A and B are shown apart, each in its own frame.
Chain A
Amino acid sequence: MTEIAPKPVLTSREKVAATLRRRYRAEMRFRAYGLSAVLIGILFVVLLFWTIIHKGYTAFEQTYVQLEVSYAAEDLDPGGQRAVADLQAANYQLPVRAALRAAFPAVEGRSELKKLYGLVSGSAEQTLRDRVLAKPTLIGQHEAVWVLADDRIDMLAKGQIDRRLPESDRAVDDAELRMFDTLKAGRHVEIRFNSGFFTSGDSREPEQAGVLGALIGTFLTLFVTLVISFPIGVAAAVYLEEFARRNRLTDLIEVNINNLAAVPSIVFGLLGLAMFIQFFGMPRSAPLVGGLVLSLMTLPTIIIASRSALKAVPPSIREAALGMGASKVQMVTHHVLPLAMPGMLTGAIIGMARALGESAPLLMIGMVAFIVDVPKGLTDPSTVLPVQIFLWATSPERAFVERTSGAIIVLLAFLLLMNALAVILRSRFERRW
């Protein structure tokens, strides 16, 4: 018979010690979970940024081709008046084509010539027109001019077209390849910073398309959104939090605000279409209407964030103010609002960031149209960055791929800028102690 060892009598301290190891292990495990969650998050962010930047950075570069242009007076200004209207109306395709033919005298035949002419962008004519208009004395002279390359040539220059593919699968055929190589060998091809990307509006031609129109459209739309939703949101939150009595009505309002925050954004677009455009007769595709629609969308977010910021202000501050004989409005404006402001700003920025990335409701009110001109006011037709990205992403040209990513980079930069602004504003409003 085995002797049963007397059960050791553990003191409380020993019992605690026995559980300690288990507790520490649980804590380690918990930390590991948390850390891995954070790391996975960071990994995805890095991956996202890497793919977008990797794909998109080439959008900030552009291939230029140098042409030896002669501005023949008989082509451009047969009348010899040098009148602005004449120079404006002149056919600048002639000198462009002549320059190309001069560079490749051996090319002959309709189809071959077409390929030759296709090396440079359609904007080459515009470039020459601008130069001549700026300096009419150019007529009758020669000069070397850098003009935009066609988008396919641009892709080729940036190495985004695989030369080893069979000719039929390639966007540029052998003849074009040869011409490009010749130009390149003669140092007539150059890749430069693509300033046009930031200074022009949309275009059907990828090499001429830029984000300025969308950027200004976004800016105007967000401006309207902020100007409308922030004051209204803060006022609503202050009223509900500080002045309204708790009753059925305020409960109902509260539930509705929470529900509104969860409404799919496209519904707000429909509402905007029905209300602002059809009922009030506001212009389509305008940042004004876009801003109004996005305000509807951001309002609940701002109200909810502002209310929780107000709730976080300690009641003792309110009592102190009221006890001093401050009226309720004074209590709110002198003490509660300044303390809640950082939280409210955060809410506003979150709402604005969401609005910045929104495209669905704007499609409904016509901001998806193809708009070349940069908007000059709140009622000019315009588009916004996310819609521009959507438009480019659905375009067939290979060169729009990098521009899509380029526009996404601009959008992200805009977002970072807004967040930086939020941080600055927050720290300014935050109490200095």
Chain B
Amino acid sequence: MSTSIATPSDARRVAPSRGSVSVSGAADESLPGETLDTKTVGQVSVADPVMGARVVNVHYGSKHAIHDVSIDIGRHAVIAFIGPSGCGKSTFLRCLNRMNDTIEGAKVSGLITLDGQDIYEKRQDVVQLRARVGMVFQKPNPFPKSIYENIAYGPRIHGLAATRADLDEVVQTSLQKAGLWEEVKDRLDHPGTGLSGGQQQRLCIARAIAVDPEVILMDEPCSALDPIATAKIEDLIDELRQNYAIVIVTHNMQQAARVSQRTAYFHLGDLIEVGPTDQIFTNPRHKLTEDYITGRFG
């Protein structure tokens, strides 16, 4: 899978070529040679990131939705994107697996890398990218097919299972990882749309992990769920962290605090502050972050 992919150090070589000058806030001093032209407060980069974004701008037609966002996504960790509605969390998230390509008029500029390779490069295959960077949406959206087919779809189109037995295996392990196996193992041929909202969302997560991605993007995955279903999904996210990098957008501050190790605060298209989650919530360094998490606006 990774034969043609450059080493992470390539990304660092590429990144500074964006004409960067100064770093306000604290860019990672442990990564010499990287200077980021960013207003973002806090530590934007991490050691050995799975994904990296540098000076990303997004335009919807004439609307400038994301301004110069640079951030790294670490391996085996959960990063939460928080911020007031309309600040561009979803937009930025969708840049990471090029789902914005499907929106007419959306333009993404800047550098986004996956394992050091530019994902917006001509050679990059979107299909392969999305197999490596999976996505779970705000509203559970299982296919109107059976539970089995929902999970089997990804492995099938990507040719990940050679035999029916392989496929059965993938379906079972995916459902087990998503904590749904016990609930649905007797009715795999039932429609996925017939499950409860929380089960549907876990089905969608199972569907995403069935293709064995490196990163899972989740856009407000619990916003349509009750607290019990939410708790299950949060536990699940915590477990999935062992194997995947997870980016979660959430409006629920407690949720961000519970599941994530790093938190990024967006405001009107700017990435204001990034840092370890406990630091962001206990000791935010930027005024806007503080206002937001203390509930003064948002």
Distance from B215 Cβ to chain A, minimum over Cβ atoms (Å): 12
Distance from A331 Cβ to chain B, minimum over Cβ atoms (Å): 9
Of the candidate stretches A41-49, A314-322, A342-350, the one touching chain B is A314-322
Distance from A170 Cβ to chain B, minimum over Cβ atoms (Å): 69
The answer to whether A339 and B128 touch (CB under 8 A), given A324-B153, A324-B154, A325-B158, is no
Distance from A330 Cβ to chain B, minimum over Cβ atoms (Å): 6
Query: Are A325 and B141 in contact, with the CB atoms below 8 A?
Result: no
Report the Cα distance A339→B129, complex, angstroms: 26
Query: Are B207 and A319 in contact, with the CB atoms below 8 A?
Result: no
The answer to whether A322 and B99 touch (CB under 8 A), given A245-B104, A317-B143, A330-B157, is yes
Residues on A with C-beta less than 8 A from B134 are: 323-324
Distance from B94 Cβ to chain A, minimum over Cβ atoms (Å): 9
Of all chain A residues, the one with the shortest Cβ separation from B207 is: A324
Report the Cα distance A325→B126, complex, angstroms: 7
Query: Taking the complex as formed, is A82 at the interface, i.e. its CB lies under 8 A from any CB of chain B?
Result: no
Residues on B with C-beta less than 8 A from A319 are: 99, 102, 135, 137, 141
Distance from A26 Cβ to chain B, minimum over Cβ atoms (Å): 37
Other-chain contact of A320, B131, B142, B191, B211 (Cβ < 8 Å): B142
* CB 8 Å contact bits of B186-200 with A (1 = contact, 0 = none): 000001011000000
Residues on B with C-beta less than 8 A from A30 are: none
Residues on B with C-beta less than 8 A from A323 are: 97, 99, 130, 134-135, 137, 208
Residues on B with C-beta less than 8 A from A314 are: 141
Query: Taking the complex as formed, is A335 at the interface, i.e. its CB lies under 8 A from any CB of chain B?
Result: yes
Residues on A with C-beta less than 8 A from B127 are: 325-327
Query: Taking the complex as formed, is A334 at the interface, i.e. its CB lies under 8 A from any CB of chain B?
Result: yes
Query: Are B131 and A325 in contact, with the CB atoms below 8 A?
Result: yes
The answer to whether A335 and B102 touch (CB under 8 A), given A316-B137, A324-B154, is no
Most buried by B among A246, A321, A322, A324: A324
Query: Are A326 and B102 in contact, with the CB atoms below 8 A?
Result: no
Query: Taking the complex as formed, is A431 at the interface, i.e. its CB lies under 8 A from any CB of chain B?
Result: yes
Most buried by B among A322, A325, A326, A335: A325
Chain A residues bordering chain B, tally (CB within 8 A): 22
* CB 8 Å contact bits of B168-201 with A (1 = contact, 0 = none): 0000000000000000000000010110000000
The answer to whether A325 and B143 touch (CB under 8 A), given A319-B137, A433-B194, is no
Residues on B with C-beta less than 8 A from A432 are: 191
**Interface positions of A from 371 to 422, Cβ below 8 Å from B:** none
The answer to whether A339 and B207 touch (CB under 8 A), given A323-B99, A325-B158, A327-B127, is no
Report the Cα distance A324→B141, complex, angstroms: 12
Residues on A with C-beta less than 8 A from B130 are: 322-325
Main DSSP-derived SS at the B contact region? helix
Residues on B with C-beta less than 8 A from A325 are: 126-131, 154, 157-158, 211
Report the Cα distance A12→B128, complex, angstroms: 62
The answer to whether A433 and B157 touch (CB under 8 A), given A320-B143, A324-B130, is no
Query: Taking the complex as formed, is B79 at the interface, i.e. its CB lies under 8 A from any CB of chain A?
Result: no
Report the Cα distance A241→B294, complex, angstroms: 46
Query: Are B143 and A321 in contact, with the CB atoms below 8 A?
Result: yes
Query: Taking the complex as formed, is B204 at the interface, i.e. its CB lies under 8 A from any CB of chain A?
Result: yes
Query: Are B143 and A335 in contact, with the CB atoms below 8 A?
Result: yes
Report the Cα distance A316→B139, complex, angstroms: 8
**Interface positions of A from 27 to 53, Cβ below 8 Å from B:** none
Residues on B with C-beta less than 8 A from A316 are: 137, 139, 141
Report the Cα distance A12→B271, complex, angstroms: 50
Of all chain B residues, the one with the shortest Cβ separation from A335 is: B143
Most buried by B among A318, A319, A432: A319
Residues on B with C-beta less than 8 A from A322 are: 99, 102, 130
Report the Cα distance A319→B144, complex, angstroms: 13
**Interface positions of A from 272 to 308, Cβ below 8 Å from B:** none
Residues on A with C-beta less than 8 A from B208 are: 323-324
Report the Cα distance A289→B129, complex, angstroms: 49
Distance from A428 Cβ to chain B, minimum over Cβ atoms (Å): 15
**Interface positions of B from 67 to 101, Cβ below 8 Å from A:** 97, 99
**Interface positions of B from 112 to 148, Cβ below 8 Å from A:** 126-131, 134-135, 137, 139, 141-144
Residues on A with C-beta less than 8 A from B204 are: 320
Distance from B170 Cβ to chain A, minimum over Cβ atoms (Å): 13
Distance from B146 Cβ to chain A, minimum over Cβ atoms (Å): 9
Distance from B274 Cβ to chain A, minimum over Cβ atoms (Å): 25
Residues on A with C-beta less than 8 A from B129 are: 325
Query: Are A317 and B144 in contact, with the CB atoms below 8 A?
Result: yes
Distance from B192 Cβ to chain A, minimum over Cβ atoms (Å): 9
Of all chain B residues, the one with the shortest Cβ separation from A432 is: B191
Report the Cα distance A23→B131, complex, angstroms: 57
Distance from B201 Cβ to chain A, minimum over Cβ atoms (Å): 12
Report the Cα distance A317→B211, complex, angstroms: 18
Residues on B with C-beta less than 8 A from A334 are: 153, 157
Using CB atoms and an 8 Å cutoff, list the residues of chain A in contact with chain B: 245-246, 314, 316-327, 330, 334-335, 339, 431-433
- Name 16 interchain pairs, CB-CB below 8 A, sorted by A: A245-B104, A316-B137, A317-B141, A317-B143, A322-B130, A323-B130, A323-B134, A323-B137, A324-B130, A324-B208, A325-B128, A325-B157, A326-B157, A334-B153, A334-B157, A335-B143
Using CB atoms and an 8 Å cutoff, list the residues of chain B in contact with chain A: 97, 99, 102, 104, 126-131, 134-135, 137, 139, 141-144, 153-154, 157-158, 191, 193-194, 204, 207-208, 211
Known: A246-B104, A330-B157. 13 other contacts (CB 8 A): A317-B144, A319-B141, A320-B142, A324-B208, A325-B126, A325-B128, A325-B130, A325-B157, A325-B158, A326-B127, A334-B153, A339-B144, A431-B191
Which 9 residue pairs are nearest across A and B when measured between Cβ atoms? A325-B130, A316-B141, A323-B135, A325-B131, A433-B191, A320-B141, A324-B154, A325-B127, A431-B144
